[in-house]
Amino acid sequence: MSDRIAQFSALVAAQPANPLFRFSLAQALDAAGRLPEAAEHYQTCVAARADWMMPRILLGKLLLRSGDPAAARPLLEDALRLAHEQNHEDPAAELSALLAGL
């Protein structure tokens, strides 16, 4: 896993404005359990594009795992709105279930 972190860290360092590199780095950090660092990169992705559903879902789930449902809720609600707008049925169902449990 550290190879992926190193790979995407280098790409982010070379192109810090590239949200796809940041998203990949966030996923690698998240998988390695480095949640605060992952959250920072997911947040950059959320801010980069108003229509990008996945970073909202993953950041929301990360915040739930971190014990912060109040911070997770608006991200998950926004992701649910995007899922409906973009006709993503499976994520919409998953998000609805997550939100119902909060």
Task: List the domain boundaries for the chain.
Answer: 1-49, 53-102
∠ CA 6-37-84, nearest 5°, is: 105
Tell me the average pLDDT across 71-79. Answer: 98
Task: Report residue 54's pLDDT band, with 50, 70 and 90 as the boundaries.
Answer: very high
pLDDT for the residue 47: 96
As given in the structure block, the two tokens for residue 22 are 């940041």
pLDDT for the residue 2: 83
Tell me the average pLDDT across 39-68. Answer: 97
pLDDT higher than threshold 90 for residue 67: yes
pLDDT tens-digit map of 16-44 = 999 999 999 999 999 999 999 999 999 99
